[in-house]
């Protein structure tokens, strides 16, 4: 596990979105003690360190694993807990060993296993973005702090949470002829970006007389009844192509359907949308060099991306990852 080894003060840097706050970094002198800390002469002997979190998968609700190491630096066996704080816009997907701390917003007390002197226990917590709209290329900070059974709590150390980056994704599709009221659309989605893609959606806007029968349409409600959202959660490696068939029923003569990749604010390229003609006895093909897609009728107004840090701040230790190597 990549660990942030430097001991730091909680940085409450969060996203500037309707559900998120403006970034702010607390200075060393002003950082609060962890919730419920017991002040005493004895130094805390239970410490905790959190690893870098990459959110991925469903682009509307990307999730990832937070690994927390709890370490007993004392000379005797002791129970090791940790206090977890998450920024606005990030939630636990399951409580596990965690329970909320009374009077402390977005703060949990977790763990509790007995640790021998010098022992260590690694906990995995699943976290997920709770931003109202898709967020790309930004980051926020959470913190963990070790705590013993007597309530003595170490100073918090922070960890970074990365949302997925924007990328390029190319759409190609061809439509077979309508036979007995059914047509098959062969879809090819190529990851033309530089990293693996954890999930995307194909939206199919359908006029009267056209209905998607396979794959199953999601029940997210994002299409507002004007078509079908097909959520693809499989990982598509950089340079790889995700190919699949979309089956539609067609009644009432020749029809046209529009297909586009979503979320539309993630993609940096233009060939993410095309229009197909569905007719009996022939075939329709999507233009390989389609013009820029029109505005998505189902999409909410774009939220400006805040100017958050994309690289570690001087004085804040951070692991050298493939992500940071590309961006920094």
- Considering the chain, what percentage of its residues have pLDDT values greater than 90? 68
Amino acid 194: pLDDT: 95
Concatenate the DSSP letters of all residues of 114-153 into one string. EE-TT-EEEEEEEEEE--SS---S-EEEEEEEEE-TT--B
- Considering the chain, what percentage of its residues have pLDDT values greater than 70? 73
Average pLDDT of the residues in 23-44: 44
pLDDT digits 0-9 by tens, 209-218: 999 999 999 9
pLDDT digits 0-9 by tens, 164-221: 999 999 999 999 999 999 999 999 999 999 999 999 999 999 999 999 999 999 999 9
Least confident segment among 17-31, 115-129, 193-207, 260-274:
17-31
Least confident segment among 90-94, 205-209, 280-284:
280-284
pLDDT digits 0-9 by tens, 118-147: 999 999 999 999 998 999 999 999 999 999
Amino acid 20: pLDDT: 38
Query: With 70 as the cut, is the pLDDT of residue 31 above it?
Result: no
Amino acid 296: pLDDT: 52
In degrees, rounded to 5, the angle at the alpha carbon of residue 308 between the alpha carbons of residues 66 and 95 is 25
* Nearest alpha-carbon partner for 1 in 48, 34, 46: 48
Average pLDDT taken over every residue of the chain: 81
Amino acid 265: pLDDT: 95
Amino acid 284: pLDDT: 52
Domains of the chain: 28-165 (2.60.40.1510), 169-285 (2.60.40.10)
* Model pTM score: 0.70
Whole-angstrom CA distances from 54 to 48, 99, 234 are 19, 23, 17
């Amino acid at each position: 596990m990549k660990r942030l080894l430097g001991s730091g003060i909680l940085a409450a840097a969060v996203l500037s979105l309707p559900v998120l706050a403006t970034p702010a970094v607390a200075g060393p002198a002003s950082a609060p003690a962890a919730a419920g800390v017991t002040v005493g002469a004895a130094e805390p002997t239970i410490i905790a360190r959190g690893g870098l979190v990459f959110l991925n998968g469903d682009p509307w609700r990307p999730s990832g694993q937070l690994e927390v190491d709890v370490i007993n630096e004392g000379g005797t066996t002791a129970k090791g807990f940790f206090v977890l704080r998450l920024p606005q816009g990030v939630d636990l997907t399951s409580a596990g060993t965690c329970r909320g701390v009374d009077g402390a917003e977005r703060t949990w007390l977790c763990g509790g296993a007995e640790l021998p002197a010098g022992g260590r226990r690694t906990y995995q917590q699943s976290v997920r973005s709770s931003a109202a709209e898709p967020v790309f290329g930004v980051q926020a900070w959470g913190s963990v702090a070790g705590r013993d059974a007597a309530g003595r709590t170490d100073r918090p150390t922070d960890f970074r949470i990365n949302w997925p980056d924007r990328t390029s994704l190319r759409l190609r599709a061809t439509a077979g002829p309508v036979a007995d009221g059914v047509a098959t659309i062969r879809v090819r989605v190529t990851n033309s970006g530089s990293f693996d893609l954890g999930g995307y959606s194909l939206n199919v806007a359908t006029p009267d007389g056209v209905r998607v029968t396979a794959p199953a349409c999601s029940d997210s409600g994002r299409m507002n009844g004007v078509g079908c959202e097909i959520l693809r959660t499989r990982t598509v490696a950089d340079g790889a192509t995700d190919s699949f068939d979309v089956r539609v029923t067609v009644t009432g003569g020749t029809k046209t359907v529009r297909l586009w990749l979503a979320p539309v604010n993630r993609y940096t390229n233009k060939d993410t949308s095309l229009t197909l003609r569905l007719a009996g006895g022939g075939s329709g093909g999507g233009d390989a060099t389609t013009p820029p897609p029109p505005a998505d009728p189902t999409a909410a107004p774009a939220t400006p991306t805040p100017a958050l840090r994309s690289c570690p701040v001087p004085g804040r230790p951070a692991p050298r990852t493939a992500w940071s190597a590309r961006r920094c």
